[in-house]
Structures are given as C-alpha cells and as structure tokens.
C-alpha cells in the first residue's frame, strides 16, 4: 500500500473515531453523513475498528423504516491513554479510555526530593493495573514553560527545572512497561487542565474561556473559539509572573511583585508551605514545604478557619481582591465568556468570589464590556492529569493510528 493511501486511510479512521467521540453513537449511514465519507468506506473502517476492539455495534433501533441500522459506539476499555502531572507538592495520574471515560485516578503527596520517583511509581502502577490494554500514549503536565518539541521544560521555577528533557526521564523510568513504545509528551499544566474542562468540566460547550490554576504556582489556559490558544512559542498563559499586586512580595521565581506571590498557595498559607523569603536555598521548589497535605486540604482548612477567625477571613477577602485585579487585566485582553478557577481556589469560592466579582465589575473599563462568569472547577486536583490523558489519546483521535 502506498504511503499516501495509508495516510488517507488513517485520516478517515480518525474522522470516524472523532465523530463517535464528539457526537456519540451513530449508524454506519449516519457516520457517512457526519464525516462526508462514502458508506462503503465507513463500513470498511467500522469493520476494522471492531477487529481492533475500538468500537462495537449495538442492537438495531426499534421503529426504524426499512432495514434498521445498528448504532456503532466506542468501546473504550481496550485502548487507554495515561495522563500524568508533576507538581510542587503532589503527583497525579489519570487513565482515560477511548470513549472518554475515566478508568483510574491516583494522587500522591510528594516532596522536592522524591516527586519524580513517586511520579514514576504511580505511572508504573497504572500501567500494570491494565495488563490487556493497548496504550495510545503517555502525556505529562508540568507547571512551567514547555518547548514546542513537547519534551523539554524550558522554565519551571517551582520545580527547579530549566531546559530539561523531562520526557526522556519519564521514558527511561517506564522502560520495560506496556507503554515503553509510547513517546512521552510534555505540556503545560494549565493548558492540560483547560482541555479537561472543555471535555469534562465547567467549560464544556464554552467557546471563549480562561482556566486559572490554583496550586503553589499560578498559570492559565486560554480557550478561543473552542480551541486552546498556545501562542507563538507555545508559552501563552504564563500569567503567574505578571507584575500585579505588591511590588515587594517575593516570588518563587526569584523576582518580586508577581501575581503568583499574591494569590499562590505559598502566599496564602506560608505557615504550612514556607514563604519565598524563608525558603531553603537548596530547595529547588522555591518554598520550604512543611506540610504533606494536598493544596485542596490546606484550602479546606483555611475556609473552615475563616468561619470563626477574623484574620483568616480578612486573608481570604484580600485574596479575592488580588484575584479580581489580575482577572480584570486578563478579561480586558482576552474577553472570555467564562473564567474557571481550579485547584485550591475551589474550596474557597464562597469566600473569594464575591470580592473578585466586585473588583471585576468596578475595574473593567467600560460598562459595555461583558463581565465573565466565574465558575469553580468540578474536576478536583487531578484536572491537569485528566487533560494530559486527553492529549495522550491524540494518536488515535487525530492520526487514526491503531497500531498495538
């Protein structure tokens, strides 16, 4: 078979898979209409997909005129994608099947000295838990700038990474596993979380949205016209280090006056995570981690504390104000319909949203500008890993590559 013909066939397979994933089950005739492919072509593709255990035909539809069609639907559990997240104080993994169903979710606390090892242990555990799977890919989300090769972390100050081929490290750690043949892809955590929100969460059906992470670091994923905006070098969304707020507040990146230094978790609960001023210089995370609880657990404790402690309540009001100020700038530039707040912001929504909304309402320049709706993520701390898992399925959904 000629290379051109083979590529065309893979493109057609991908079109059928994407149609089933985006729009749900359909008969072969309906798939032909959806994709614009000939019925005979769709029939041959469906037969091959059945042989690869990627789809199955359901029972004939009752009440249909003529020969009743049998809806084809994705059969997800044979083909899986693995999404990972490496963050300052935790690692996470999500296994996603071809139909978009979450098969497994794991999160572990981590420290600067053991987080890469914990990540690899978590990844290997997920792979071993599904011995019969065909792994479509492995993707890793990190809080930092990722080069266009989708392997090299160009700058991740909270992880102490600077021009490091993190993908190679993960591939070496997965040698000998069922996913050893998969080239690991690396992506920014906020971009991954945005993909998760588009497919599974608070931004579903929204064409213009902004996702804001909430961990030790702060980043954003930008959705324009239903597509993730990556920018000229793929670095769009690095909002944590814009100069908003107290110009003297120290940041984990080594500078002062970053927005992250005002609204990041280390600024909010320095007694647990340490401040940038008091950090151990040998600690590459930029903070002196002293608490192994997750960002969500720390935020939940602070929310409970604010109910009876005026100083804690005042801290959250200030957080809402600083959050609203930065969102005003981003909303003025990007004009999103929706802003999704993720990570540790979620347990604090009742405390910070009223103030953030008031600042947005007051500071946006014109009454004609639409105030974006502020929503909390519903995906939990594993949103970035879930988005990475979505990305790991690209080889099937974009390339139609069903090779085992």
Three-class secondary structure assignment of 209-249: EEEECCCCCCCEEEEECCEECCCCCCCCCCCCCCCCCCCCC
| pLDDT tens track for 361-387 | 999 988 889 899 999 999 988 999 999
Neighbours of 403 (CB within 10 A): 11
The 3-state DSSP composition of the chain as helix, strand, coil percent (nearest 5) reads 40, 20, 40
Structure tokens at 97: 């099947």
What pLDDT score does 7 carry?
A: 87
pTM, two decimals, is 0.87
Torsion of Cα atoms, 23 then 25 then 30 then 36, to 10°: 50
What pLDDT score does 123 carry?
A: 98
DSSP alpha helix (H) spans, 24-142: 28-35, 39-51, 115-128
Q: Which residues of the chain have pLDDT under 50?
A: 1-2, 274-290, 404
Distance between CA atoms of residues 102 and 348, nearest Å? 26
What pLDDT score does 292 carry?
A: 62
What pLDDT score does 283 carry?
A: 41
What pLDDT score does 111 carry?
A: 92
Domains of the chain: 3-74 (1.10.10.10), 77-192+384-397 (3.30.420.40), 205-378 (3.30.420.40)
Distance between CA atoms of residues 285 and 159, nearest Å? 5
What pLDDT score does 390 carry?
A: 95
| pLDDT tens track for 307-327 | 899 999 999 999 999 999 999
Whether the Cβ atoms of residue 145 and residue 155 lie closer than 8 Å to each other: yes
Helices 3-23 and 28-35, packing angle to 10 deg: 110
What pLDDT score does 175 carry?
A: 95
């Amino acid at each position: 078979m000629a290379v051109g013909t083979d590529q065309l066939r893979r493109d057609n397979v991908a079109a059928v898979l994407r149609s089933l994933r985006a729009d749900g089950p359909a008969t072969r005739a309906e798939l032909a209409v959806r994709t614009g492919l000939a019925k005979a072509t769709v029939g041959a593709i469906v037969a091959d997909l059945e042989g690869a255990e990627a789809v199955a035909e359901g029972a004939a539809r009752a009440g249909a005129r003529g020969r009743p069609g049998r809806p084809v639907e994705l059969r997800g559990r044979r083909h899986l994608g693995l999404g990972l997240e490496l963050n300052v104080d935790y690692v996470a993994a999500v296994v996603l099947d071809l139909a978009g169903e979450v098969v497994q979710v794991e999160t572990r606390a981590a420290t600067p000295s053991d987080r890469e090892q914990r990540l690899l242990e978590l990844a290997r555990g997920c792979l071993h838990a599904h011995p019969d799977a065909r792994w479509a890919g492995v993707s890793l989300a990190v809080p930092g700038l990722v080069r266009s090769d989708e392997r090299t972390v160009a700058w991740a100050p909270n992880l102490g990474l600077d021009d490091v081929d993190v993908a190679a490290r993960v591939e070496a750690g997965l040698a000998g596993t069922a996913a050893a043949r998969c080239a690991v892809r690396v992506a920014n955590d906020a971009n991954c979380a945005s993909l998760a929100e588009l497919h599974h969460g608070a931004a579903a059906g929204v064409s213009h949205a902004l996702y804001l992470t909430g961990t030790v670091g702060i980043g954003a994923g930008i959705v324009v016209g239903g597509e993730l905006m990556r920018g000229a070098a793929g670095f769009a969304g690095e909002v944590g280090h814009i100069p908003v707020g107290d110009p003297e507040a120290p940041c984990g990146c080594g500078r002062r006056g970053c927005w992250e230094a005002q609204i990041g978790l280390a600024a909010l609960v320095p007694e647990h995570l340490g401040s940038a001023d008091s950090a151990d210089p040998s600690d590459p995370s930029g903070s002196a981690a002293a608490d192994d609880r997750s960002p969500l657990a720390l935020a939940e404790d602070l929310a409970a504390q604010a109910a009876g402690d005026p100083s804690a309540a005042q801290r959250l009001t200030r957080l809402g104000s600083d959050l609203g100020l930065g969102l005003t700038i981003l909303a003025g530039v990007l004009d999103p319909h929706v802003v999704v707040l993720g990570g540790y912001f979620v347990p604090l929504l009742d405390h910070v949203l009223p103030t953030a909304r008031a600042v947005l309402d007051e500071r946006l320049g014109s009454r004609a500008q639409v105030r974006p709706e502020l929503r909390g993520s519903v995906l939990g701390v594993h949103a970035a890993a879930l988005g990475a898992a979505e990305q790991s399925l690209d080889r099937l959904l974009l390339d139609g590559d069903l090779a085992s």
